[in-house]
Each structure stands twice: as structure tokens, then as C-alpha cells.
Amino acid sequence: MDIHERARIRAGDPLAFGRLFDQYARAVYNHAFRLMGDWATAEDVVALTYLDAWRLRERVDLEGGSLRPWLLGIATNASRNIARSARRHQAALARLPRDEIMPDFADELVGRIDDTGRLATIRAALATLRRAEREVFALVVWSGLDYHGAAEALGVPVGTVRSRLARARGKLQKLTDAALSERSESSEHSARNREPWSGSGQTKGSRTAAVRPAQEETP
């Protein structure tokens, strides 16, 4: 981003901010979802990120490259604040009588995600990381920032980013490998114990045979 565009953003030019949104909103949204694990919450993070960016626009340096690290840093802080509020909310709900708690339909959102089993495994593994490790992993591995960009986003030295990422990768590798291996063994066990399909006595070419999966028709 050139100095003129940065100057427009610092001055609060609505058109410049519109271009900033168009350019990085998807990256902010993806980063927020990876941290929060919820589509609706990720949308809230995007909104808060750009509101804070507008409020903090005078901190934009006139010289520099992409503003993506700056925005992802704001998004990380917004995610922390939302997570903190959610914990307080859950604690308040836990103090209510059981019959006053409204049902939670957030799990329905999982149906929008491909390969939900693997995602659940990865998210469970991420939950075991320290928050600082999880944030570095999300910025570098998922959002594609280099070490310097992640350091700028989080306001920490580059060496800190390197060490946190190394710890996160090591922990995640062990946890996801173990969990996925366990799921695979469970699936294989279920497949071995599943009763074979048996026909209903209809002749070849019958309606039953016509609707059988293709893989069952192979010799």
C-alpha cells in the first residue's frame, strides 16, 4: 500500500476505508473463524475490527507495506474480548436454575463445514494450546503472515513468534496424529463388524438392485 493510500486512511477517507475493507475483510473473517470456531462470531469480529481500525486510524504509519498484519492484530484483540465476554456469559448462565437456560443451537453451524470430524479434532487440539501459541499458529500457518508480520500483529519480538509457533506445531502434531489414528481405527473396527448387505430376494434388474450404491456392484 502506497503512502498516499495510507494518508487517506489516516485522514478518515471513507473511500479509502472501503477499499481497505474490500481488500482484507475475507482474511480477517477467516482468521476470526479459526480463532473462534463460529461463523456468526467471526462476523462480529470483522465488524469490531473495522470499527477499531477506524478509531485507531491515526496510528497507521505513512510508510510501510500491507496493512493486513495491523488488521489481523486488531482482529486478534477483538477475538480475545469476545471470548472473555462469552466466558462471563456462560458463567452467568451456569448460575441460573436449569430450566431457565435456553437451548443452544450453535452446533447446527457445524453442518456448513466440510469434513466436520477432522475439523473437530483440530479444534480440540487447538484448545489445548496456550492462547499465545494458538494466536501465532492462526496468524502464520492459517493466515499466511511471515514472522515479522505476526510479530507486528501481536506486538511481540520475532523471536517470540518463532518459539511460540515451534511449540504449537509440536503439540498439534502429536495431538492430531493420535486423535485421527484413534478415529481411523474406530471406523475400521465398525466396518469389520457391520453386517453385509443382503438382498430381499428380488431378481437381477429389480428396483432394489437399481438403487444399490455403485461401490457395491463392483466385484
Query: pLDDT tens digits, residue range 23-77?
Result: 999 999 999 998 888 888 899 999 999 999 999 999 998 888 899 999 999 999 9
**How do residues 160-216 score in pLDDT, each as one tens digit?**
999 999 998 888 787 766 665 665 566 555 555 554 444 444 444 444 333 333 443
Chain centroid to Cα 210, Å, comes to 42
If phi over 0 gives left and psi between -120 and 50 gives alpha, with beta otherwise, what is residue 113?
beta
106 DSSP 8-state letter = G
The residue type of 197 is W
Domains in the chain, please, with CATH? 1-106 (1.10.1740.10), 114-190 (1.10.10.10)
**How do residues 114-152 score in pLDDT, each as one tens digit?**
445 566 666 777 778 888 988 898 898 888 899 999 999
Cell 466440510 -> residue: 114
